[in-house]
Structure 1
Amino acid sequence: MLKTVTPFEPIRTEVIPMGDQWVAQVKWDGVRMLTYYDGLQTKLINRKGNERSRQYPEFLDVSAYCHANSVILDGEMIALSGGKPSFHEIMRRDSLRREQEISFAASHIQAIYMIFDILYYNGQWVTNKTLTQRQQLLQEIISPHSTLQLVPNIEDGESLFTVMKERGWEGIVCKRLDSTYAIGGKDSRWQKLKIGYDLYAAIGGVTYRDGIVNALLLGLYDLEGNFIYIGHAGGGKLKVADWRELTRITKTMIRDTSPFHRLPQRNKEAVWLQPQLCVKVQFMEWTPGGTMRHPVIQGMGNVPPEMCVITQLE
């Protein structure tokens, strides 16, 4: 089987890069997913190197949509809700482990694979080719259909970003057409411009209403390993059943003292937890006090607590 790699990442920017060498693409609110196909076996591996082949069985027959003897594809696995990409929806697929649940979800929650790059083709690495050349290769070998698409380039990044803001989507990624693919890299040849912020945060406490969890006290770990409080979050995409499940699960995590390095101001009714569960949260900006302004829970984060670090913001 082909060796797994860490994908190329964009850096964050606040300014849309201009010039003929730049194109913009939609930044999808989903799960980064690389497809590895050696001619016999297929594996789907996420950004962190964890296999997700069982969760997305409909994409394992690579020969049905890609004309290659062997290939590594890079893209984003998404699911729609209300006509827009929803992290909460795709996590309903991504977080499943039992075969019966996966089979049921595959027929009820449609995943869409948005492919935007290729690293390996017919026994050869193509990461040293330019983005233009790699995209031309994708056009030649990929047969798109309703649930598998090639991500298009948009020349006018400002117009695309305006549309993303109007629709309430996540943002855009700007890429240089002459950029090679840096495995494990992160540099300014790819730049992301987000509408607001999003990150993974660990749950350090909860509050209740009528015996059910109704808000989360969230934190991140700093470079010294301190667990820093970043705010309360109660609104978002979790449904009533999700809050009930959170209530059940967190009962085993209750502790007597606050896990936060500094006690949050709003702590009167808080029940403290060992930070073991994570959520993905989106917010508008940081307040002067270092907490999130208008946080919205996007879904449960299928990541370990040690990944809930301040360096996510870089």
Structure 2
Amino acid sequence: MKLKPVAPFEPIRSEILPAGPGWITQVKWDGVRMLTYYDGHEARLINRKGNERSKQYPEFMDLSSYCRADSIILDGEMIALNADRPSFHEIMRRDSLRREQEIRFAVKRIPAIYMIFDVLYYNGEWVINRTLAERQELLQEIIVPNAQLQLVPSYSDGESLFAVMKERGWEGVVSKRLDSTYAIGGKDGRWQKLKLGYDLYAVIGGATYRDGIMNALLLGLYDENGQFIYIGHTGSGKLNQDAWRSLTDQISVLMVEDRTFHNIPQRIKGAVWVQPLLTVKVQFMEWTPGGTLRHPVLQGMADIPPQSCSVTQNK
């Protein structure tokens, strides 16, 4: 029986860490949410949006090398490291590849690590109605960790873990009730995320140049009326020089004469307008009263449709 993809359980955003013996806390990885489906014959990797990514990560297709199960659905995060820290830019370099030759080369050049934190289905039965504590015990029994595949550790002291994340500049933490069942397609307070900043997917609508070199991107979102609204600008952020140069080349062939934003950007001197086709992920501190991002930092390119970058998106 071929297992049908499901929407994963999502945490709600919180401003405080829940406390008490009924909670555990885990690292919130800056990667791509990924579920593994294995029906006993074929393995598939499918992301949070329901898009298959099996070809992009061939090193995880042999389930028998890391999982003792006749059939399984696993939930986790696919990450890649840069200087020993998770990098959204690096994992998107893997995730966006389509050509088989490039993927084979990237397996070693951009090694992915699969961080598993839940199990939904095991040996022909759904286990979503078992408690998180029971599902974690099951994972301990059936998963065989290796250098590229790990079980996400759980900590009872969430405050200490969050302090470490803050010190390292990582994304944040997720706290979960040990008695929580797994709500397919759900999102409620039994899982809560505490982040060091806010995430947002945005569309590039312009760029500015200084001395002939691109130095900033002008970003926008679509409002409820379908209008493309300017929300702020960002520099190269976490993109390295090669990635920034590659993005500069992409933008150079997408330039248009007319302003792409419905409103007039604050930063307009030296600006060129770009067809709104390229999407990025940014992290920012908060929204300003004027409706722009405060201290946005570019995390990496995003492989999502521009029209999904709306003002109502819920990250």
| TM-score calculated relative to the size of structure 1 | 0.96
SS for the counterpart of 1:289 is coil
Residue correspondence of structure 1 range 120-159 to structure 2 within 5 A: 120-159=121-160
| Structure 1: tracts of 5 or more residues without a match | none
Residue range with higher mean Cα deviation, 90-99 or 206-215: 206-215
Residue 246 of structure 2: SS of its match in structure 1?
A: helix
Secondary structure of 1:200 counterpart: strand
Corresponding residue number in structure 1 for 2:54: 53
* Preserved CA contact (<8 Å) 2:210 2:270: no
* 1:313–1:38 Cα change, 3 Å: closer
Give ranges in structure 2 of 5+ residues lacking alignment. Answer: none
User: Within the alignment, does 1:239 sit opposite 2:236 as a pair?
Assistant: no
TM alignment of 1:1-20, pairs within 5 A: 1-20=2-21
Q: C-alpha offsets along residues 259-308 of structure 1, whole Å, 9 cap, x if unaligned?
A: 22211121122111221100111122222322222221111111111221
Matched, 1:204 2:205: yes
Alignment map for 1:98-137 (pairs within 5 Å): 98-137=99-138
* Equivalence map 1:22-101=2 (5 Å): 22-101=23-102
Shift in Å at residue 100 of structure 1? 1.2
**Does the 8 Å contact 1:212/1:243 carry over to 2?**
no
Residue of structure 2 in register with 1:265 after alignment? 266
Task: Find the residue that maps to 1:249 and give its secondary structure.
Answer: helix
Deviation at 1:91, TM superposition (A): 1.1
- Secondary structure of 1:92 counterpart: helix
Question: How far apart in 1 are the matches of 2:247 and 2:111?
Answer: 25
- Distance in structure 2 (CA, Å) of the matches to 1:312 and 1:97: 27
- Range with greater deviation from structure 2 (62-71 or 210-219): 210-219
240-249 vs 80-89, greater mean Cα deviation: 240-249
Please give the root-mean-square deviation of Cα atoms over the aligned residues, in Å: 1.4
2:229/2:263 contact within 8 Å kept: yes
AA matched with 2:111: Q
1:177 alignment partner AA:
L
What is the TM-score normalised by the length of structure 2? 0.96
Q: How many residues were matched structurally?
A: 314
**2:282 is matched by which residue type in structure 1?**
V
Displacement after TM superposition at 1:254 (Å):
2.2
8 Å contact from structure 1 (residues 214, 243) kept in 2: no
What SS class does the counterpart of residue 249 from structure 2 fall into? Answer: helix
- Where does residue 163 of structure 2 map in the other structure? 162
Counterpart of 2:313 in 1: which secondary structure?
helix
| Counterpart position of 1:195 | 196
Instruction: Note the C-alpha offset of 1:212.
Output: 4.0
Equivalent residue for 1:229? Answer: 230
Preserved CA contact (<8 Å) 2:94 2:110: yes
In structure 1, give the amino acid aligned to 2:149. L
Identity of aligned residues (%): 70
Aligned partner letter, 1:171: G
SS class of match (1:69):
coil
